[in-house]
Amino acid sequence: MIDPRRLRILRAVADHRTVTAAAAALYLTPSAVSQQLSALEQETGHALLIRGGKGVRLTPAGEILLSHTHAVLAQLERAEAELAAYAGGASGEVSVVAFATGIAEVVAPAIGLLAADHPGIRVRVRDAEGDESLPLVLDGAADLAVAVEYRGAPGVDDPRLSRVPLHAEPFDAVLPAGHPLADRDHVELAALAISDWISPYPGNPCHDMVVRACERVGFQPRVVHTSDDFRAIVALVSAGAGVALVPRSALRGMELRSAVVRPVSGPAATRRVFAAVRRGAERHPLLSPVLDALGKAAADLVVG
pLDDT, one tens digit per residue, over 235-255 is 999 999 999 999 998 898 888
Report the CATH number at residue 47. 1.10.10.10
Q: Are residues 55 and 121 both part of a single domain?
A: no
- Cα 35 from chain centroid? 31
SS3 at position 124: strand
Report the CATH number at residue 112. 3.40.190.10
Q: Are residues 46 and 105 both part of a single domain?
A: no
Q: Are residues 216 and 141 both part of a single domain?
A: no
Q: Are residues 11 and 63 both part of a single domain?
A: yes
Domain boundary among 22, 57, 82: 82
Q: Are residues 148 and 191 both part of a single domain?
A: no
* Total number of domains constituting the chain: 3
25-43, pLDDT tens digit by residue? Answer: 898 999 999 999 999 999 9
| Residues above pLDDT 90, as percent of the chain | 66
**CA nearest 278: which of 20, 71, 28?**
71
Residue 172 lies inside a defined structural domain of this protein: yes
Residue 304 lies inside a defined structural domain of this protein: no
Q: Are residues 161 and 292 both part of a single domain?
A: yes
Phi-psi region of 135 (alpha: psi -120 to 50; beta: other; left: phi over 0): alpha
- Cα 76 from chain centroid? 23
Q: Are residues 115 and 102 both part of a single domain?
A: yes
Residue 159 lies inside a defined structural domain of this protein: yes
Give the whole-angstrom CA distance, residue 252 versus residue 270. 16
Q: Are residues 266 and 193 both part of a single domain?
A: yes
Give the whole-angstrom CA distance, residue 202 versus residue 278. 27
Q: Are residues 244 and 279 both part of a single domain?
A: no
Domain boundary among 26, 59, 82: 82
CB 97 within 8 A of CB 277: no
Domain boundary among 82, 105, 135: 82
CB 264 within 8 A of CB 170: yes
Q: Are residues 172 and 250 both part of a single domain?
A: yes
Q: Are residues 264 and 277 both part of a single domain?
A: no
Phi, psi torsion values for 256, nearest 5 degrees: -90, -25
Residue 113 lies inside a defined structural domain of this protein: yes
268-297, pLDDT tens digit by residue? Answer: 788 899 999 999 999 899 999 999 999 999
Residue 152 lies inside a defined structural domain of this protein: yes
What is the model's pLDDT at position 86? Answer: 63
H helices of the chain, in order, are 4-16, 19-26, 30-44, 60-87, 100-102, 108-117, 130-138, 205-216, 230-238, 248-251, 287-299
Q: Who's near 132: CB < 8 A, 6+ residues apart?
A: 97
Q: Are residues 64 and 12 both part of a single domain?
A: yes
Residue 240 lies inside a defined structural domain of this protein: yes
First to last CA, the chain: 55
Average pLDDT over residues 178-206: 93
Range(s) of the domain holding residue 30 = 4-82
Q: Who's near 226: CB < 8 A, 6+ residues apart?
A: 198, 199, 200, 201, 202, 207
65-94, pLDDT tens digit by residue? Answer: 999 999 999 898 888 887 876 667 677 899
Residue 243: DSSP 8-state: B
Average pLDDT over residues 44-58: 88
The answer to which of 74-83, 102-111, 164-173 has the lowest mean pLDDT is 74-83
The rounded mean pLDDT for the chain is 90
What is the model's pLDDT at position 167? Answer: 92
Residue 281 lies inside a defined structural domain of this protein: yes
